[in-house]
Structure 1
Amino acid sequence: MPQDERWLAALPIFNEVQYVDRILDQVSQFASNILVVDDGSTDGTSEKLAQRRDIAIIRHPTNRGYGAALKSAFDYTLANGFAGVVTLDADGQHQPKRIPAFIDMARTADIVSGSRYLHHFDGDDAPPEERLFINRRITMDINRKFGLQLTDSFCGFKAYRRSALERLDITEFGYAMPLQLWVQAANAELEIVEMAVPLIYLDLERNFGGSLNHAETRLNHYNEVIQTELDRLAAASDCVDRSDDHCQWS
C-alpha cells in the first residue's frame, strides 16, 4: 500500500487484561499498523502489551480518560503520515473484521461512525436502559442543533480521514469527547456517514467516574459539554451577526 494510503487501527485501553491479547490477535488479521494507547492501566494490561511485537504503544503514566487516549491516537496518526485511523474498543464490543469496511467507506466520507441502532443484527444484545435513553436523547439534540442524521452519537468504532483530524481540536478528555467531536465536525461541515455495527454489550456496569455514574448527572454533563463547545466556537468566530447559522447554534 502506498505511503499515503496507509491506515492505522488504534485502540484506547484501560485495564483490559482479560480481553487485550484476544482482541489484538483479531485486529492484526485486518490491520497492518496498530496503535494501542494504554491509558494508565494497573491490572497487568501494560505487561501483556509489552510482550507484543506487532503493535506500537503510547502509555499514559496515569489514567487521563477516554477522550485523552483518542487524542493521543489522533496526534500519532498525523505525526506518522497515515491517511486515516480506525478507532475501536478493546473490550470485545467492536468486531475487528469490520475494519476494512470502515476504511473503504472513509474513502468518500470524512468520518465514518459506527451505529448500533441503524440496523438490527441477529444476536444483538439489549443495551442498559439508562444508557440507551441518554444516547437517544443526546443524539436527537445533536441532530436538531446541527442538522445531522445520526442514530448513535456515542459509538467508539469510527474511521477518520487525515483531513478530518486536521480540522479537529479535541480538548474534552472524558467519555463526553464524542459530543465535542460532533460540534466541531458540524462546524467544519465534514461529511459524516454511519455504518451499521452489531450491538454488543459486555461492559454493562461501565464506570463513568464518580458522580457521572448517576444518569441524570451524566446527561447534564453531556449537555454542558455541547454548550461549552458551542460557546467557544461562537466566540472564536466573532459572531456579531446573530442571523448566521453558526451563531444560532449557541
Structure 2
Amino acid sequence: MQNPEKIAQKITDFNCCVLIPTYNNQATLDRVIQGVLYYTNQIIIINDGATDSTKRILTHYPKLTQIHLEKNKGKGNALRLGLHKAEALGFDYAISIDSDGQHYPDDIPLFLEELENSETKDLLLIGARNLNAKGMPRKNSFANKFSNFWYWAETGFTLQDTQSGFRLYPVKEINKIKFLSTKFEFEVEVIVKASWNGIEVKNIPIRVLYDPDERVSHYRPFKDFIRISAMNTWLFTIAIVYIKPRDFYRKFKEKGFKRFFKEDLIGSEDSNIKKSLSIALGTFIGISPFWGFHSILSIVVAAALKLNKVISFAFSNVSFPIFIPFILYGSLKLGGFMLGRRSLDLHQIDENFKIGVYLFQYILGSFALAFIMAVLFGLAGFIYLQIKTGNKKKVKHG
C-alpha cells in the first residue's frame, strides 16, 4: 500500500474527486467509503433512491458531499449527476468506484500514476478486471467480450474491459457531451462518445473481488442486455453514417490534397496493387448512383475488402458538384447506347415523360461509367505509383 499522504497530495494536485454511486449496497458501502477516505475526503456520494439502510449509514459522513434521490433512476443518471456536481465544485477529474465491494480502493493510485505519465490530459481510464479470476461470473465475461466487440466496431479502437465501473473521467470534457442513457448502458455510451470527441480511452489493470455472500448486483441480465444492445445498435449506426465519414473528411481536409498524395497515396506501406484497387473502388463508388452514401460505402466496402480506407474515401469524392452534370449526362448517354436508344432529350419532357424508363437507363449507364472510370483511374494510379516507386529505388541505389 502506497503512502496515503503522497496519494492525497496527488489527488489534490490533479484536482480530483471520487464518485460513489450507490443503491441498496448496505453490506459493503461503509467499507468502500472507509477505503476511499484512506486517501482523500474529496468524495461525492450519490444515493440513487436506496430503500435499505444506506441513508442511515451516510449520516455518519456529514462532511462528505452527498446527493440523495427519492427514487431509483439508474446508475447512468447517478454518474451524470455526480460528474456535474464535480464540475460545479471545481474538480477537473473524477474517479468512480462501485459501492458493491468488487473494487479495491487501494487501486486508486494506479489511475493517478497513469494520468501523471500520460502525454494527454484528456484521458478516460477504465480499470481492466481479470475476467478469468476465480469467482468471476461467466455471464460477466461473455457480456464484456460482447461489449468490447461493439466498442471496436463503433470507434476502431480496442479495449480489454469496457464494462468496469472503476474509472477516471475528465470532468469538464465529459460534461460537454450530450448523453441519452440513464442506466447501465451509460457506461457504454460515455466511452464511445468520449472516443468520438477526441478523448483517449485506455485500460489499466485492477484487482476485483466477487463475494457472493455480500455482493448485491442490480444488473438485470435480460432487460439491461436489451438496453445495452439497443444503445450499441444506435451508436454503430451513428458511427457508420456520420462519425467515420466525418473523421476521414477531417483527416483529408487537414492534410490537404498535396500532403494526402505524398503520405497516404505514395507514402503508405500498402502495395501498389492494393493502393490502385483502393483508387478504383473509390472512383467506382463515387460515380455510382448511390448519391448521399458515397463516403459511407467507400469506407465500409474498403474495410470489408481490406483495402486502404483513406484512399478509397478520397477518390469517392470524384463526384464534385462541378462534375455532377457531366456524370449524369455521361451516364444517360452510355445507358442509352447500351439499350440501343437515344439518351434523354431534355426538350421532349412533357406529360407523357416516362421517368421509369430513363431512370433505368441512367442507373445502367451510371454503373457502366463507374466501372470504366474505375478501371482507367486504377490503371493510371498503378502506372503512376510504379514509376514513383522505380524512381525511389534508383535514388536509393544511386
Q: Under a length normalisation based on structure 1, what TM-score does the superposition of the two structures give?
A: 0.83
State the partner residue of 1:127: 136
In the TM superposition, what whole-angstrom CA distance separates every residue of 1:93-146 from its partner, at most 9, and x where no partner exists?
11111212212323425101100138x7xxx43321122111111212211331
Residues 68-217 of structure 1 aligned to structure 2 (within 5 Å): 68-107=77-116, 108=118, 109=120, 110-117=123-130, 124-202=133-211, 206-208=217-219, 212-214=220-222
1:58-110 CA-to-partner distances (Å, cap 9, x unmatched) read 01110000111101111011111102000001121111112122123234251
Report how far residue 47 of structure 1 moved.
1.3
CA contact (8 A) 1:183 1:226 kept: no
Bigger-Rg structure (1/2) = 2
State the distance in 2 between where 1:37 and 1:197 align: 23
**1:167-213, CA deviations, whole angstroms, 9 ceiling, x for partnerless residues?**
432331111111111220221121111110113223577333xxx43
Give me the whole-angstrom Cα distance separating, in 2, the residues matched to 1:40 and 1:241. 46
* Shift in Å, 1:29: 0.8
Q: Which moved more, 1:236-245 or 1:72-81?
A: 236-245
**In structure 2, C-alpha distance between the alignment counterparts of 1:133 and 1:178, rounded to whole Å:** 17
Q: Could you tell me the TM-score, scaled by structure 2's length?
A: 0.54
Aligned counterparts of 1:185 and 1:200: Cα–Cα separation in 2: 28
Do the aligned residues in 2 keep the contact of 1:116 with 1:155 (CA within 8 Å)?
Answer: yes
Q: Secondary structure at the match of 1:35?
A: strand
Aligned length: 239
Aligned amino acid, residue 213 of structure 1: P
The answer on whether the counterparts of 1:115 and 1:152 sit within 8 Å (CA) in structure 2 is yes
CA distance in structure 2 between the partners assigned to 1:159 and 1:194 by the alignment: 10
The CA deviation at 1:218 is 4.2
- In the aligned structure 2, how far is the partner of 1:244 from the partner of 1:77? 39
- Letter aligned with residue 295 of structure 2: S
Question: What secondary structure does 2:81 align onto?
Answer: helix
Identify which of 205, 227, 249 aligns with 2:233.
Answer: 227
Task: Mark the runs of 5 or more structure 2 residues left unpaired by the alignment.
Answer: 1-8, 247-291, 301-398
What do you get for the CA RMSD once the two structures are aligned? 2.9
Between the aligned partners of 1:98 and 1:206, the Cα distance in structure 2 is 21
Q: Is the 8 A contact 1:117 1:151 kept in 2?
A: no
Match of 1:40 among 49, 57, 71: 49
Write the distance in 1 (CA, Å) between the matches of 2:22 and 2:239. Answer: 30
Larger relative contact order, structure 1 or 2 (CA cutoff 8 Å, min sep 6) = 1
Query: Could you list the per-position Cα deviations for residues 9-48 of structure 1 after superposition, in whole angstroms to 9, with x for gaps in the alignment?
Result: 1100001111122221111011230110000011111111
Distance 1:135 1:243 in 2: 31
User: Judging changes above 3 Å, is the alpha-carbon distance between structure 1 residues 164 and 117 closer, same or farther for their aligned structure 2 residues?
Assistant: farther
Amino acid corresponding to residue 65 of structure 1 in structure 2:
G
Is residue 292 of structure 2 the alignment partner of residue 243 of structure 1?
A: no
SS at the partner of 2:295?
Answer: coil
Contact 1:86 1:103 in 2 (8 A): no
Tell me the SS of whatever aligns to 1:200.
Answer: coil
Pair 1:63 & 2:69 matched: no
Structure 1, unaligned stretches of length 5 or more? none
